Amino acid sequence: MKKIILVSFVLSTIMACTNQNPLLTEQNTPYGVPAFDKVKIEHYMPAFEKAIAENKAEIEAIVNNPEAPTFANTIEALDRSGELLDKVVGVFFNVLEADGNDEMNKIAEEVTPLLSELSDGIILNDALFQRVKAVYEQRETLGLNDEQMRLLTETFKSFANNGANLPEEKKARLKEINQELGLLSLLFGSNVVAETNAYQLFITDEAELKGLPESAKAAAKEEAVAAGRPDAWLFTPKRTSFTPVLQYCENRDLRKELLMAYTTRGNHDNENDNKDIIVRTMQLRVEKAQLFGYTNPADYILADCMAKDAKTVDAFLESVWEPSLKAAKREAAELQKLLSEDLPGEKLQPWDWWFYTEKLREAKYDLNEEELKPYFELNNVRNGAFQLAHELFGINFEKLEGMPVYNPEVEVFKVTYADGSLVGILYTDYFPRAGKRPGAWMNNICNQYVDANGVDHRPVIINVGNFNKPTQGNPSLLSMDDVETLFHEFGHALHGLLSKATYKSLAGTNTPRDFVELPSQFMENYCYHPQIMKTYAFHYQTGEVMPDELIEKINRASTFNEGFVMTELLSASILDMDYHKMTTTDAFDVNAFEEASMKNMQMIPEIITRYRSTFYNHIFTTGYAAGYYSYTWSAVLDADAFAAFVETGDILNPEVAKRYLHLLEQGGTRDAQELYLEFRGKPADPKHLLEKKGF
């Protein structure tokens, strides 16, 4: 009797917890956004467990449907399954990346194998695949529209490309590989965050900071005060902290110290070292590719991209690498002359590049980036991006107060069409914190899709960055690179917000990896155009718009240092491809592998590749494996797309904007190449990128 009472008590407690869990119950929130303010650590695992169980039940219902397989009862039903899980994943992993902690990391380690098991349980379910296959084989007789045909084709390919056709023993091994890869990815990312947070350099003698702008010193002083050292200035491997030092500080040793702290993260033979993780990751990726009959991971991954295979990517990278490297060598020679004037007999080093670049920029163009920052106040720049979207696409942005957020620094905006109908909700989270991973990104919190009742669920999108925090008396002032980053990530946000797909798996940014960067990089073309700068480049103290002569200086210098920018970017792309062209599962030395890659591409020693292996989150955690080339591939598209406007004499040409808006709205509902040809009327011409870069 006591046992029965105890069991009843436990069950009632579980039910009570479930009923009170904001991730599992309908919350009365504006626009249906997640109740971030009510979600607590203890809510996540029960929510995951229930959502996973519910998704499994949905799949079983599809598999056990006694009716013959149809598009509606199999393909549509599959796409519409997992709604609760999407909600839980959308909240948890966004918060984990932007505001995580040790407790959330532990939950991630616990839940990742469960999610991998669920995914494999769906994709490797033979009975489910047979239903998908049966519908696919009838596709020409079903009278499907273009989007339905795309969903059917992509669903079948997803099953086939992820193991549905493998024999049972290989399926079992694939499940093991996927689970281990998921955990390795989590561990890699958390190690990078831990390494970034672990390093602190306190400077107590202000003389060591000679040349550093007062704004950068003020930020470093506030960091030190927050760390309990009001007697010092604190510097870390976060870009907002060390970049001003590289640009302006005359202390060469300090520049070296901070650059090395940044570029050696995850490479210190300690508990946060990522070298063994990289080796194991690549062993598993090679094994996985070979399970599918591919020689290397690159060919396996690229089969579903625009490029199709490693050979095509290699040829593309080689075509842009040569002019980029030549330009970088010319730039290095100019910088060496400046260095030699200061330090006769010394050779230019990576920690000298940014410092002497600023000197050269000022000498050549009379342009000092510190002179520009007062005109790049964060809110004004964001408003400029909003205004640009309004001019191009007729949409409006309204800041919402009192919205549920996971951190007080997060802001929320309602996005509407001209008629007042909802486009979506945009969250922005721009400042660094201990629990946030480095970099900038866009993510879906809630997907856009049309449900079975014809209701269009509008998306909830987030833009995340690591820009300068406001200091006492000064707002957040952005660098030129920060401005480009804000416009870039906002371009991704627009791709997600403007989606008009029926099916969630085809909505928004669900496109090939080498197409998804087009909408983001396209927006960068506008940020320093004089016409657009007039809408946001206001001095934060006086309110005056940036003078024409300063805008002219920026545009005259638009191709300055592009050899460095492209060489840094492309070297990381080539390193990525070198990893993913591996054909052996033998162990290897990560540092030696990277060194050999740099030597083979003839990388100049004055430049360090944008991402060293041990903190290369793009290819070891965030889905850009064998895909970092896509930034340059898409750059050809974005330069050509912008040229479509320029050729009309109006960078906001409404007819061209209407065609481009249609491209954004389509998401992944159409073939990427077909979509671009429809917009442009012809293939992208690489000459526009080369002209843009000054090559």
Strand, helix or coil at 134?
Answer: helix
Which of 223, 489, 524, 594 is catalytic? The answer is 489
Cα dihedral: 40, 46, 47, 51 (round 10): 170
The CA–CA distances, whole Å, from 227 to 168, 190, 220, 221 equal: 55, 22, 11, 10
Sign of torsion over alpha carbons 471, 473, 479, 485? positive
Burial of 330 (0-12, 13-18, 19+ CB in 10 A): exposed
Alpha helices in 343-453 (DSSP H): 350-365, 369-372, 378-393
CATH match of 275-367+563-620 with 1.10.1370.10: yes
Distance CA 201, CA 230 (A): 13
Per-residue pLDDT tens digits for 505-562: 999 999 999 999 999 999 999 999 999 999 999 999 999 999 999 999 999 999 999 9
CB 327 within 8 A of CB 695: yes
> Cβ distance 373 to 392 under 8 Å?
no
Strands 441-446 and 449-450: unpaired
Segment (H or E) for 290: helix 275-291
Q: DSSP code of 37? A: G
What integer pLDDT is reported at residue 18 of this predicted model?
53
- CA-closest candidate to residue 36, choices 347, 361, 446, 320: 446
2-165: in CATH 3.40.50.720: no
Place of tokens 């290095």: 332
* 206 counts as catalytic: no
Q: What are phi and psi of 541, to 5 degrees?
A: -95, -45
CA 426 to chain centroid, in Å, comes to: 16
Looking at the chain, which residues constitute the CATH 1.10.1370.40 domain(s)?
A: 2-165, 374-556+630-693
> Which of 610, 577, 570 minimizes the C-alpha distance to 695?
570
CA atoms within 13 A on the CB side of 285: 29
CA Rg value for the chain: 26
Query: Of the candidates 283, 116, 93, 272, which has an alpha carbon nearest to the alpha carbon of residue 183?
Result: 116
CA dist 92 and 39 (Å) reads 10
Burial class from Cβ neighbours inside 10 Å (0-12, 13-18, 19+) for residue 628 reads buried
pLDDT given for residue 5 in this prediction:
39
Q: Tell me the β-bridge partners of 201.
A: 235
| Residue 597 three-state SS | helix
**What 3-state DSSP class applies to 460?**
strand
Q: What is the pLDDT of residue 7?
A: 40
Say which amino acid occupies 174.
L
pLDDT of residue 695: 84
Backbone torsions φ then ψ of 501, nearest 5 degrees: -90, 160
Edge-to-edge strand order for the sheet containing 411-416?
396-400, 411-416, 422-429, 460-464, 441-446
DSSP state of 463: E
Q: What is the CATH topology of the domain spanning 374-556+630-693? A: Neurolysin; domain 3 (1.10.1370)
Residues 6+ apart with CB under 8 A from 691: 639
Using one digit for the tens of pLDDT, what is the confidence trace for 659-686?
A: 999 999 999 999 999 999 999 999 999 9
- Which residues are CB-contacts of 598 (< 8 A; sequence separation ≥ 6)? 571, 575, 609
What is the spatial distance between Cα 373 and Cα 354, in angstroms, rounded to a whole number? 17
Q: What are phi and psi of 640, to 5 degrees?
A: -70, -40
* CA 185/CA 274 separation, integer angstroms: 10
Other C-beta atoms within 10 Å of 231: how many?
10
Closest CA relative to residue 238, chosen from 208, 272, 261: 261
The rounded distance, in Å, linking the Cα atoms of 633 and 517 is 9
Encode burial over 598-625: b for 16+ CB neighbours within 10 A, e otherwise.
beebebbebbbbbbbbbbbbbbbbbebb
Tokens of 292: 């599918």
Per the CB < 8 A criterion, the answer to whether 482 and 476 are in contact is: no
Q: Which parts of the chain register pLDDT below 50?
A: 1-16
Longest Cα–Cα distance in the chain: 91
* Single-letter code of the amino acid located at 211: G
Q: Please state the φ and ψ torsions of residue 204, each to the nearest 5 degrees.
A: -105, -15
Q: Which of 449, 403, 452, 395 is nearest to 429 (CA)?
A: 403
Q: Are 500 and 665 in contact (CB under 8 A)?
A: yes
Burial class (CB in 10 A: 0-12, 13-18, 19+), 273: middle
Tokens of 46: 């029960």
| pLDDT the model gives residue 602 | 98
Own/partner pairs, 248-251, CB within 8 angstroms, 24+ separation: 248/211, 248/212, 248/213, 248/216, 248/355, 248/358, 248/370, 249/209, 249/210, 249/211, 249/212, 249/355, 250/210, 250/211, 250/355, 251/208, 251/209, 251/210, 251/211
User: Which residues in the chain are classed under CATH 1.10.1370.10?
Assistant: 275-367+563-620
State which amino acid sits at residue 411. E
Residue 205 one-letter amino acid: D
